[in-house]
Amino acid sequence: MKKVNYHTHTALCLHADGMETDYAREALSARLDVLGFSDHAPFPDNRFDLRMQYEQLDPYLQRVAGLRSRLAGRLDILAGLEIEYCPDMLPYYRTLCEKRNLDYLILGQHYFTDSSGALVNTFRCPPGADSSLVLEYARSVQEGLETGFFPVLAHPDVIFVNDLGWDENCEKATDIILRCARETKTVLELNANGVRRGKKQFSDGVRYPYPHPLFWKRVAKSGLPVLINSDCHNPSFLWDDAMLECYWLARQWNLCLTDHFRRS
Ligand SMILES: [Zn+2]
Ligand SMILES: [Zn+2]
């Protein structure tokens, strides 16, 4: 297996440190084979904050392309974006994939639209929410993956940052995501940034906010391919203890690791 990381942010997203050259320096010293950039994608209407501004998209892609040619033969550099699925943005995803020369889009549902049409911040469940929110999240992930624009699903279990308790809804939601990942040939990401947040007491046990062990036990049973990504927001996190912990967890949980995915 190659040594890879496809989930890398840069200072352009306004909540990370370091530019593409700083991450490349780290990747060379950690002897990575592939370094993929996937900064938080802008939307043309700049609808979400704390991310790249739309005006920065072209400069971002040019910087990554420049780095790619400078490092050719030493380190494979890829240009991607991490982006939310919003039902009204299909033409935009198509433009990104077809006209902007991107290598891939990673789906990261930091926000999702629920069945009533309301926008939910995945990290802050609305007051009074219960585990049915996990089902709402799963359905929005499913709708996103079915568009075919996203070959990788970032932190598929990110909804468990909320303390909703593990129950039948969570099992059902996990199965929706896994079934859909199988049908759309989407690779699931085991995300080291959840590990960096540290273990906490939740009502379903002491665990990382994500990865959630019960989610990944079902992934193991499914045999679906899993990609470990750093999701680094600082060059020093590119290949750190949280990454090593993810590789250790993957072994403990018997996950089927992969180092690649289909290109959109
Ligand atoms: Zn971020
Ligand atoms: Zn993310």
Instruction: State pLDDT tens for residues 167-215.
Output: 999 999 999 999 999 999 999 999 999 999 999 999 999 999 999 999 9
Q: Which ligand is closest in space to the CA of residue 158?
A: 2
Whole-prediction pTM: 0.97
Q: Which ligand is closest in space to the CA of residue 15?
A: 1
Instruction: State pLDDT tens for residues 1-44.
Output: 999 999 999 999 999 999 999 999 999 999 999 999 999 999 99
Give the Cα separation of 186 and 89 in Å (integer). 20
Rounding to the nearest 10 degrees, give the CA dihedral for residues 143, 146, 151, 157: 30
Give the Cα separation of 87 and 78 in Å (integer). 26
Domains in the chain (CATH in brackets) are: 4-257 (3.20.20.140)
Ligand 1 centre to CA of 113 (Å) is 19
Ligand 1 centre to CA of 15 (Å) is 6
Per DSSP, the three-state class of 153 is strand
